[in-house]
Chains A and B, each alone.
Chain A
Amino acid sequence: MKAAVIVFPGSNRDRDMIAALEQVSGHAPAIVWHKDTEVPAVDLIVLPGGFSYGDYLRSGAIAARSPVMDAVRAHADRGGYVLGVCNGFQILTESGLLPGVLMRNASLRFVCRTVRLSVDNADTVFTRGYGQGQVIDCPVAHHDGNFFTDPETLARIEANGQVAFRYAEGTNPNGSLNDIAGIFNDSKTVLGLMPHPENLIESAHGGIDGRALFSGLMQVA
């Protein structure tokens, strides 16, 4: 599995993501600057967390229109894997690679805490390291994680197995629809999620529940 991490000027969990990919795979991912128009040939492109361009407007709205996103879209269109975490998820919805939007948290406050996630569809490259319905710990740290979409889209993604993770056991931190924490695209090659599995991959983090997401991905040739 070859991976590339896209770095926007306001990315700030890029280093966490790079460290996680490197620890689990043993290889350093390629780093791609937001102004680049090409991404090296990789299996996986990762959009990390942060505040891509400050996000004073709508989180991810400017990033979705940045030069590098054409290359990310082309990669996704070819069936390449794309993972967006937190701000990365926001950029994926803003760029149309994933359905729905991420609104302000219902509390209107930033929230950083560990929540419980249930694995809603374990039959994908991203989630095969988990069991179907398995409940794991995972931290969140965001201000705009309140997933919303119209009823038709919601029904479609629910019916199509596009919900990857749901907040479990009453730990929904942001008011998202159907407790949705992460979703796939139609073909399950693009995943966006608000929680940060990259911050829970070694015992020093207080747990390793995030690790299986990366180890599952690493099995891709």
Chain B
Amino acid sequence: MTFNNDLPITPQLVADHGLKPDEYEKIIDLTGRRPTYTELGIFSAMWNEHCSYKSSKKWLKTLPTSGPRVIQGPGENAGVVDIGDGQAVVFKMESHNHPSYIEPYQGAATGVGGILRDVFTMGARPVAAMNALRFGSPDHEKTRHLVSGVVAGVGGYGNSFGVPTVGGEVEFDERYNGNILVNAFAAGLADTDKIFYSKAEGVGLPVVYLGAKTGRDGVGGATMASAEFGDDIEEKRPTVQVGDPFTEKRLLEACLELMKTGAVIAIQDMGAAGLTCSAVEMGAKGDLGIELDLDNVPVREEAMTPYEMMLSESQERMLMVLHPEKEAEARAVFEKWELDFATVGKTTDDLRFRVMWRGEEVANLPIKELGDAAPEYDRPWIEPAKPAALAADDIPQMDVADALLKLLGSANLSSRRWVWEQYDTLIQGNGLQRPGGDAGVIRVEGHAHKALAFSSDVTPRYCEADPFEGGKQAVAECWRNLTATGADPLAATDNLNFGNPERPEIMGQLVMAIKGIGEACRALDFPIVSGNVSLYNETNGKGILPTPTIGGVGLLPDASQMMRIGFAAEDQVILLVGAPDGRGSHLGQSLYLRELFDRKDGAPPPVDLAHERRTGDFVRKLIRSGIATAVHDLSDGGLAVGLAEMAMASGIGANVPDLVDLHPIPAWFGEDQGRYLVTINLDPHGEEIVALWREAESLGVAAPWIGRTGGKRLVLGDARPIPVAELRAAHEGWFPHFMQG
């Protein structure tokens, strides 16, 4: 076999590696010479958008990332947040968009695998997963195939690994026709004094390779994920990795067992850009050099070149720096789990990243510059023009009952049961709320009362119309969903999915969305502790809707006070907490307009963050005082849809009269922010409810009594009463019918 490490570096070869001419010049400056072929591959792996965040770093730095509970913010494999009693929740969300479009099952499966690995690399046992999925128009020829493959892939990996999927999102829009989004979230539990980091320490220590063998799968994957799609997409299939959840499960158990031995100094999973990225990160963070000897890397294919080994994205692999005196103990753990264990290098004191192969040095690069000195761009951006607000007299009318049934049975509001029944939502036996509510909730194993709530949120059509307000809204809705269960929102992870940042209008979307996210996170004390950026989600020059997904985590001090969305009993008072005058008014960018009239105009609903916070704090107080019996936040589809969801979840109906002299459509379907439906078990004419209203008023929160639960029908004002069974039939029907084709 011949491998030419001194391949002539032509401009075409540089371009094929996703590097710009000026970036190549920078490489020459750094090394003082022409790079070898392997070195060029290493640079392309480290300097691509996916690994270097070169377009977004400047703006990501503006996000709030600290707080009294934050143990580790962005920059590690996952964020770490204190949940008391010496325990921490470790979580992150990451995209696997490009691979999932090329090969939906494996793309989604390895997305789940990658995020689970990020979590257990830090010493945490994964306890919850979510998936935010976005597909093209339901009538696009590829959509059904992609939905089917992605959902099976998410389930195939997570179910076998053994983590419950507690929530997520599924949305359809034609703007994702050529670029679907698969954003995978995972959270784990660890002891605060047993968190593991990627920073190497100590010179001359063994660098150990663990897990699965290295193959040719995924070579160049991170570079692929940093480029737009064209018509050559079928050729990119070999860049998608293949997942093996059985190996991942063994890797989890072996890593957690190994960590208990005290052998681990530093650990980094091999994700994007595999061996290259993990070795460089461990060394650069610890101000150490790394020397790798590729002859010791376990391989599953013959005649692998150093170039391929360095760029392989084979899954289920880890790199560690171990205490040499514990190496035998460590090896025994991995032999028990029948995983590869090989010393492939050592730490050095010269800050060089050296790669040896068959006695030859195939790469020798300055390690800090590979990571820290990656190109960073201040890309030009323009603030997107804001759409005009919807005129008050420009509201199409429809029968309220017809509109509600149509919305509940629409692609974007219908039940996602078809999806989440393919995920194991029960495993580990700690689930308190399965998908379908406002947030997934699990109890904290080993603790009598605590529980954790998880929610994933963003409304891309709002972000498209106004990325700043849309960014705020994504954070606020996530915070609101956690609050609705009774949880204290702790912190969030962001997964920013956008188009090509080299276009100023796309860069403007990214910048304004980050500004909005930052403003909301600061106002709500909801720091961003980890995240991921996925750019170049474009096909033939057409970008996706800007989609900054927010994955939030909340803590319930006492799970017995947890709220669900279903009406709890008959004849209870329904309050609309946080209601504006007239209950609702804002129809710009609403689902009412979009799904029923195919209109995408108007400004999205603004988020008043101060109001959001005081309303949420008041709702949490109602929950903790034991007055609330069910809580549901209002979002897509507004008040009518919120009431219907509470009825469908319980089988109990409700009667909510119209307000006199009020336009019914904005009241029922407006998507005004910062609102919750709360049912309470109080006499509406008694003293206690007067005290509640007095308190709400003093806090500046409106909480009008809008109706009562009861019966088997949902009665919205003068509209025709709708049996709950009919609501359910509309809601449950769309997805299975669509997938049957």
Contact = CB atoms under 8 A, between A and B. Distances in A.
Q: Which of A10, A13, A50, A112 has the most CB of B within 10 A?
A: A112
Interface in B422-444: 422-432, 443
Contacts of B443: 204
B426 A54 contact: no
Contacts of B247: 54
Interface string A203-221: 0110000000000000000
Contacts of A205: 429, 431
Contact of A15 (B156, B161, B424, B428): B428
B364 interface: no
A112 B417 CA distance: 10
A110 B161 contact: no
Contacts of B246: 9-10, 51, 53-56
Contact of B422 (A20, A54, A110, A198): A110
Given A109-B152, A204-B432, A196 B426 contact: yes
A209 to B, nearest CB: 14
Interface in A1-52: 9-10, 12-13, 15-16, 19-20, 50-51
B337 A9 contact: yes
Contacts, number: 76
A156 interface: no
B155 interface: yes
B427 A110 contact: no
B250 interface: yes
A16 B422 CA distance: 20
Given A16-B429, A53-B246, A199-B429, A112 B423 contact: yes
B427 A54 contact: no
A141 interface: yes
A199 B431 CA distance: 10
A70 B24 CA distance: 62
A53 B431 CA distance: 26
Interface string B235-248: 00000000011110
Contacts of A139: 426
Contacts of B432: 204
A50 B423 CA distance: 14
B162 interface: yes
Contacts of B414: none
Given A10-B249, A15-B428, A110 B159 contact: yes
Given A10-B250, A12-B161, A13-B162, A113 B429 contact: no
A111 interface: yes
B426 A12 contact: no
Contacts of B249: 9-10, 12, 51
Nearest to B443: A204
Interface string A133-171: 000000101010000000000000000000000000000
Interface string B397-428: 00000000000000000000000111111111
Given A111-B421, A112-B421, A19 B429 contact: yes
B210 to A, nearest CB: 15
Q: Chain B: interface residue count, which band?
A: 20 to 34
A198 B430 CA distance: 12
A187 B337 CA distance: 36
B338 interface: yes
Contacts of A19: 429
A200 B162 CA distance: 17
B160 interface: yes
A1 B420 CA distance: 37
Given A112-B426, A141-B427, A204-B443, A12 B421 contact: no
Contacts of B161: 12
Contacts of B244: 54
A185 B431 CA distance: 33
Contacts of B430: 204
B427 A12 contact: yes
A156 to B, nearest CB: 33
A19 B445 CA distance: 11
A13 B432 CA distance: 17
A112 B160 contact: no
A20 B427 CA distance: 13
Contacts of B427: 12-13, 16, 141, 199
B426 A9 contact: no
A56 B421 CA distance: 21
B422 A12 contact: no
Contact of B155 (A9, A12, A110): A110
Given A9-B246, A10-B249, A51 B422 contact: no
Nearest to A50: B162
Contacts of B245: 51, 54
Q: Which of A55, A113, A198 has the most CB of B within 10 A?
A: A113
Nearest to A201: B429
8 contacts: A10-B160, A10-B249, A12-B162, A12-B249, A13-B427, A51-B249, A110-B159, A204-B443
Interface of B: 152, 155-156, 159-162, 244-247, 249-250, 253, 337-338, 420-432, 443, 559
Given A16-B429, A141-B424, 18 more contacts: A9-B249, A9-B253, A10-B160, A10-B250, A15-B429, A51-B160, A54-B244, A54-B246, A56-B246, A109-B422, A110-B155, A110-B159, A110-B423, A111-B421, A112-B425, A141-B426, A199-B427, A199-B429
Counting from the closest, the 7 A-B pairs by CB-CB distance are A12-B162, A54-B246, A51-B160, A16-B429, A141-B424, A10-B246, A199-B426
Interface of A: 9-10, 12-13, 15-16, 19-20, 50-51, 53-56, 109-113, 139, 141, 143, 196, 198-199, 204-205
